[in-house]
Amino acid sequence: MTDLTPFPASRPPCERLDGMPPGIVLSRLAGMGRMRITASSAGVIHERIGPVDRVVRSGGTARIEGAGHAAIVDLAALSTVVLDRGPPWPGAARPRLDFLDIRGERLFSAMPMGGLGRFERTLARISRTPAHAPARSLPARRDSLRTMTPEDSARHPFCRLCATGAKVMITLDRIGLRQNWHGRIDGFTVTMGYLTVESPDFRLHIPAEAIARWQTGPRGLAAIGPEGRPLGLTLISASLA
């Protein structure tokens, strides 16, 4: 049965979850149903979508596991969790959990994709205090006039993956987080200056000119930005070797 319980509208737009350590809040994702976990780096957005099967803590890390997905979080990199009801983009009204790093910036976010009642009930007994919205570190605004040229470096490996139908692992690394997805890519779209890979359980958005080149290394193809630094995006596939 679909849970259609509305999310309470009377609470502050942002609340810090003071009553529970971030690692424990993280472990509760496994009880929240279908989730979108979003991380970004240098404008590249990596989103896994689907139920979190389990969260396994080992030493100072937590591994978020689901079908086709995995993420490893360095618990020492987390400072707090904010329940944020502000829209992550225009027209979006779903709440999310923002896991903040020690600088107070969003390391990643977790958004419920089903009914909100289950999400709220999971958090109901955690004490909270009003908080400011965290630094969003959002990518550049999408612009209907912005284009991505056919020669843009972001396109090249995805054209090959679509042509061969080979499986690929797509990983985004940030300090404190590594998130990956694996599967096959049937196609991609280019619109409003972004290349978008989309499947039922995954989204990847790459802005135009974000990738200057791809560098072959021991962990696959690594995206290199215009300033010569790795962006944290890596592709591993037999078709790209």
pLDDT level of residue 179 (50, 70, 90 thresholds): very high
pLDDT in tens, 63-74: 999 998 999 999
Going 69 to 75 to 81 to 87, the CA torsion angle's sign is negative
User: Measured in whole angstroms, how far is the alpha carbon of residue 111 from the centre of its chain?
Assistant: 10
The residue segments making up the domain with residue 47 are 14-130
How many other CB atoms are found less than 10 A from the CB of residue 139?
A: 17
pLDDT in tens, 193-213: 999 999 999 999 999 999 999
Q: Please indicate, yes or no, if residue 6 is contained in any of the structural domains.
A: no
DSSP string, 41-108: ETTEEEEEEEE--EEEEETTEEEEEETTEEEEEEGGGEEEEEEE-S-SSTT----EEEEEETTSBEEE
pLDDT in tens, 86-132: 665 555 557 889 999 999 999 999 998 876 677 878 888 888 888 88
pLDDT level of residue 172 (50, 70, 90 thresholds): very high
- Do 22 and 115 lie in one domain? The reply is yes
Average per-residue pLDDT in the chain?
87
Angle at 28 between CA 102 and CA 183, to 5 degrees: 90
- Do 179 and 229 lie in one domain? The reply is yes
- Do 92 and 197 lie in one domain? The reply is no
pTM for this one? 0.88
Instruction: Give the number of domains in the chain.
Output: 2
Q: Please indicate, yes or no, if residue 9 is contained in any of the structural domains.
A: no
- Do 100 and 207 lie in one domain? The reply is no
Q: Please indicate, yes or no, if residue 146 is contained in any of the structural domains.
A: no
- Do 180 and 90 lie in one domain? The reply is no
pLDDT at 119: 80
CATH number of the domain enclosing 126: 3.40.1570.10
Output helix, strand, coil percentages for the chain, rounded to the nearest 5. Answer: 15, 45, 40
- Do 160 and 125 lie in one domain? The reply is no
pLDDT at 10: 56
Least confident residue range of 8-17, 25-34, 53-62, 181-190: 8-17
pLDDT in tens, 120-141: 788 888 888 888 877 654 444 4
pLDDT level of residue 144 (50, 70, 90 thresholds): low
